[in-house]
């Protein structure tokens, strides 16, 4: 869908220019293996990046991280009062490996900056774009690749041939 406006009539010819393009270009990930709440939060964050709303984007990416905790976290992680404590619990439970803790902390911290602008410096658009890439990699590792592996055809052994 293209929303356009007439901007000039030259020599009897009407010219139009696009104002809004939908869907936004540059995003076409397969989210079939991703829980709907997580996919929705991530995709909303992507749309926010697309309209250059970085604070809203990083807040939604933080929400996506919270959805990962709800889906992949143990009951102990889900019961934590803060997302920070929940991520720590997931690392302790080995639900997330140590390297992902740093990633998750980064998503959480920048997301806090987007959600609480009164206490944090401005989040630039390029930082929101980087956070989008980081979270997409996390989603790919936790959901997309395991889904592809589940669907991959298993290797088939040949039947034994009788020996004469």
Please report whether residue 10 resides in a domain: no
Please report whether residue 2 resides in a domain: no
What separation, in Å, do the N-terminal and C-terminal C-alpha atoms of the chain show?
A: 69
**Structural domain containing residue 58:** 29-146
Number of separate domains in the chain: 1
Q: Which residues contact 57 (CB under 8 A, 6 or more apart)?
A: 45, 46, 48, 49, 114, 128, 131, 132
Please report whether residue 37 resides in a domain: yes
Please report whether residue 141 resides in a domain: yes
Which whole number is the average pLDDT over 3-16? Answer: 58
Give the burial string for 46-83 (b: 16+ CB within 10 Å, else e).
bbbbbeebbbbbbbbbbbbbbbbbeebbeeebeebeeb
What is the per-residue pLDDT for 162?
Answer: 78
Burial of 93 (0-12, 13-18, 19+ CB in 10 A): middle
Please report whether residue 42 resides in a domain: yes
Which whole number is the average pLDDT over 18-35? Answer: 68
Residue 28: asked if its preceding bond is cis (omega within 30°), the reply is no
pLDDT at 25 over 80: no
Please report whether residue 151 resides in a domain: no
d(CA 55, CA 20): 20
pTM equals: 0.75
* pLDDT level of residue 31 (50, 70, 90 thresholds): confident
Read off the CATH number of the domain in which 57 is found: 1.20.120.330
């Amino acid at each position: 869908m293209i929303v356009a406006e007439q901007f000039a009539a030259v020599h009897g010819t009407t010219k139009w220019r696009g104002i809004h393009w939908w869907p936004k270009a540059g995003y076409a990930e397969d989210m079939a293996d991703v829980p709907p709440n997580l996919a929705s939060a991530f995709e909303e964050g992507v749309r926010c990046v697309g309209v250059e709303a970085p604070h809203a984007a990083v807040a939604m990416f933080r929400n996506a991280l919270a959805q990962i905790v709800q889906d992949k976290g143990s009951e102990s992680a889900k019961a934590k009062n803060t997302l920070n404590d929940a991520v720590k619990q997931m690392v302790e439970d080995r639900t997330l490996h140590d390297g992902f803790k740093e990633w998750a902390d980064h998503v959480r911290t920048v997301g806090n900056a987007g959600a609480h602008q009164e206490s944090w410096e401005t989040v630039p658009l390029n930082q929101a774009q980087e956070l989008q890439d980081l979270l997409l990699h996390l989603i790919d590792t936790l959901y997309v690749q395991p889904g592809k592996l589940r669907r991959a055809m298993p290797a088939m052994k040949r039947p034994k041939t009788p020996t004469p």
